[in-house]
Amino acid sequence: MGKPSGGGQSPFNLVINGTSNISSAKELWVDLGLIPNGQQYQIGKFSFTPLDSALGCEIRTNNNGKSSANLNDTTLLGKGVAKAGTSLIIDLWKNGRLYITTVLSTGVEHFWFRFYSKTNVTTEIIWNVNYLELI
């Protein structure tokens, strides 16, 4: 499948929704799933709401041949910071003007949310990501 054309309705038909809790920590990695061998995803948008504390969020993909949740083994795809109780939506499609993709998987790579703060925080996080399969 090629690059989606701009304009019109969003082509991102796959959605992952969830909630996570960070407890007295500066960082939490959430595994959004294994990217199957030979597969690549385009990220449309992601959103998150930290209920009790301001929090940053990154969506990341593993580098080729890597599967660990850490900064050295992943590549940043998009990020944002939300205040406590505030929802933030990050649009990585911009009606077809942007083209943000995960790694083309060799069968071991994942894609991730990384939630972070400068200080230890405790909060529940509501999140989702919209994406599509390219290959």
pLDDT single digits (tens) 58-94: 999 999 999 999 999 999 999 999 999 999 999 999 8
pLDDT at 131: 96
* Residue whose tokens read 């406590």: 84
Question: Rg of the chain over CA atoms, in angstroms?
Answer: 15
Question: Mean per-residue pLDDT for 14-33?
Answer: 97
pLDDT at 43: 96
List the beta strands (DSSP E) in 1-135: 14-34, 41-50, 55-62, 74-82, 88-91, 110-133
Q: How far apart are CA 106 and CA 135, in angstroms?
A: 13
* Residue whose tokens read 């407890």: 23
By mean pLDDT, which of 20-29, 34-43, 92-101 is the weakest?
Answer: 92-101
The token pair that represents 87 in the structure block: 């929802």
The token pair that represents 19 in the structure block: 């909630």
pLDDT at 8: 54
Amino acid 88 reads L
pLDDT at 11: 86
Res. 3: pLDDT tops 60: no
Q: What is the pLDDT of residues 94-131, one digit of tens each?
A: 888 889 999 999 999 999 999 999 999 999 999 999 99
- What are the sequence ranges of the domains in the chain? 21-127
pLDDT at 95: 81
CATH architecture of 21-127: Sandwich (2.60)
pLDDT band at 10 (very low <50, low <70, confident <90, very high): confident
Question: What sign for the dihedral angle of Cα 89, 95, 97, 103?
Answer: positive
